[in-house]
Amino acid sequence: MHERKMAKDPAYLYSSSRKGTHTPTPKSLYQYLAIVIRVFAQQKAPKENVNKAKRLRRSNFAESIEHFRGIVEELDGRVPGVSLIELLWAKFHFDREDEAILSSQFQEAVESLGQFVAGDEKLFKWTGESQWVRVCPQKEDEVGLWNYELVGQLPNDLGFLLYVKSHTCETVLGGGIQCAAVVRDWGRIVKDKGTENATILTCDSYYLDLTGRDILLELEVLYLCALQSCRFNTLYCRANIISHHAGKTALLYSEELHEMFVTHWYPPPLNRKFVLTNALIASPGSTRKAIIPGCDHFSVMFNLCDKYNRRLHDKSWPHRCMTAELQEHNFLFTCLLTNCYNAFLDSKHQTPHDLDYQTFGEELADELFFYACSL
């Protein structure tokens, strides 16, 4: 990442306070990562109604540096200073060009997918000026940076992010990302990593349209997706003859395509739901009234992303990011650490009750720093 940016601008890591340009080495970068991860782990954020330490971020960097200085004294090594760490934090970060690399590495870490994966988005809070900002009152953070996600489930029931793509398009210039393009990316991952004819892709009604549905059929992957009725008007009109008031269900099935369209009227506030799937097979007999085929299956599978995103709380950078680019890096780095944490717990057959995030982050930082000292 830094090599690409330095190639474009040789003075990319120039610092007037250091009177020159810094040339990173593997050792200095591992040391930098160890210091930053320790700050992420400790979550020492400014608090209201408390005397704030002057320049708390710098103070947290200094605390981490002192912690590692105590380690290297025994190893006869050197630790970067605060000014260098602040320079690297301001310049050395993930951007949209690195998202594909991150997603590829996440997928490489997975041998195969399980029964289902869920595609959704995360609105990561950001209220500063940026053409990337999107507003969605239905989301918890309401205003922020929009990131597309695909999440799978580890054997320990924790989520694992497989794909991330930021909506960093300047809409005022006519830029945008088509939902069908995101669905195609998700479908290809399921095709490549999914258990054959067993892994189901699920996503909410924001994503699937006729184009996306054709893409999934062409890829021959299983899917179970919520719909907006206006995008599938012919199916909606046929089903509406059967299901037109609370408590009623309509199920349409195509023998040729093995697709099932289901709509059900739920009591308020849920109201009506539409799903389309090729993962269920119609067979003679009656379904228990307590189960709505397709709709209830969707409810069970889709919350993977919600659970993963909730676990990002209190794990992101504890200080204010001054630019949208740095906040996007914050989101990507938080996801990276969360993936590492969840996967580590799974490898040790542990839960967050056995090892909390702070302890994991501090131990990971120490291991990285010891490794840096060996270079």
pLDDT higher than threshold 60 for residue 85: yes
Structure tokens at 289: 């009234």
Do 86 and 16 sit in the same domain of this protein?
A: yes
Of 268, 269, 264, nearest to 298 by C-alpha is 264
What amino acid is encoded at 109 in this protein?
Answer: A
Q: Tell me how far apart the alpha carbons of residues 200 and 301 are, in angstroms, rounded to a whole number.
A: 9
Do residues 8 and 43 share a domain? yes
Pairing label, strands 20-21, 116-125 = unpaired
Asked if residue 38 has pLDDT above 80, the reply is yes
Rounded Cα distance between 330 and 334, Å, is: 6
Mean pLDDT of the chain, nearest integer: 84
Residues 187 and 55 in one domain: no
pTM to 2 decimal places: 0.88
Residue 329 lies in a domain: no
CA quadruple 296, 259, 271, 152: dihedral positive or negative?
positive
Residue 249: inside a domain, yes or no? yes
Does residue 78 surpass a pLDDT of 90?
no
Residue among 71, 59, 4 at smallest CA distance from 31: 71
Non-local CB neighbours of 13 within 8 Å, separated by 6+ positions: 2, 6, 21, 22, 23, 24, 87, 88, 91, 92
Nearest to 300 by CA among 146, 153, 137: 153
| pLDDT for the residue numbered 176 | 57
* Residues whose CB falls within 8 Å of the CB of residue 158, separated by 6 or more in sequence, listed in order: 311, 342, 345, 346
Closest alpha carbon to 235 in 247, 227, 225, 223? 227
Question: Alpha carbon of 187 to those of 168, 184, 197, 200, 242: distances in Å?
Answer: 22, 5, 13, 10, 32
Q: Per this entry, what is the length of the chain?
A: 375
Q: Is residue 277 part of a domain?
A: yes
Q: Residues 109, 182: one domain?
A: yes
Q: Is residue 144 part of a domain?
A: no
Residues 279 and 230 placed together within one structural domain of the fold? yes
pLDDT in tens, 243-263: 766 677 888 888 888 899 998
Looking at the structure, tell me whether residues 48 and 108 fall in a common domain: no
Q: What is the mean pLDDT of residues 11-17?
A: 58
Q: What mean pLDDT do residues 336-356 have?
A: 95
Comparing 90 with 182, which gets the higher pLDDT? 182
Query: What's at 9, amino acid-wise?
Result: D
> 69 lies in which domain range?
2-92+354-373
Whole-angstrom Cα distance, residue 100 to residue 195? 22
